[in-house]
Amino acid sequence: NAGVTQTPKFRVLKTGQSMTLLCAQDMNHEYMYWYRQDPGMGLRLIHYSVGEGTTAKGEVPDGYNVSRLKKQNFLLGLESAAPSQTSVYFCASSTSGFTEAFFGQGTRLTVV
């Protein structure tokens, strides 16, 4: 049972480039989340989804877009990467908005 899988694990982008981070879960969870983790700031919610075909903005959505075309996948896109988006990105899933979240291993993104 893989749980939550994120790809890629590492990526270096140049300023202005675009990329997509993929999150896949095999637990049939309705809710999925994208967080970014920066030193001293904990986890901040970027976007989330409460079911297939739905998305909503979190605390820090600017510069990111998401899509949830299939229940098991949640994609995070950076349209034009900026150095301020250098961070570790975590995907998580849960059965509801107030139950335990299961996390992926993270994607370390560096924008130069």
Partner 1 sequence: AQSVTQLDSQVPVFEEAPVELRCNYSSSVSVYLFWYVQYPNQGLQLLLKYLSGSTLVKGINGFEAEFNKSQTSFHLRKPSVHISDTAEYFCAVSVTGGFKTIFGAGTRLFVKA
CB of 97 to partner 1, least distance (A): 4
- Which amino acid type is present at position 92? A
In the set 23, 29, 33, 75, which binds partner 1 (CB under 8 A)? 33
Can you tell me the distance from the alpha carbon of 64 to that of 20, in angstroms, rounded to the nearest whole number? 10
Task: Specify the pairing of strand 64-67 against strand 107-111.
Answer: unpaired
Residue closer to partner 1, measured from CB, 83 or 97: 97
Q: Is 22 in the site for partner 1 (CB under 8 A)?
A: no
Is residue 43 classed exposed, middle or buried when 0-12, 13-18 and 19+ CB atoms within 10 A define those classes? middle
Near partner 1 by CB under 8 A, which window of 14-22, 28-36, 70-78, 79-87? 28-36
Q: Which of residues 43-102 bind partner 1 (CB under 8 A)?
A: 43-45, 48, 50, 56, 58, 90, 92, 94, 97-101
CB 38 within 8 A of CB 44: yes
Q: Is 2 in the site for partner 1 (CB under 8 A)?
A: no
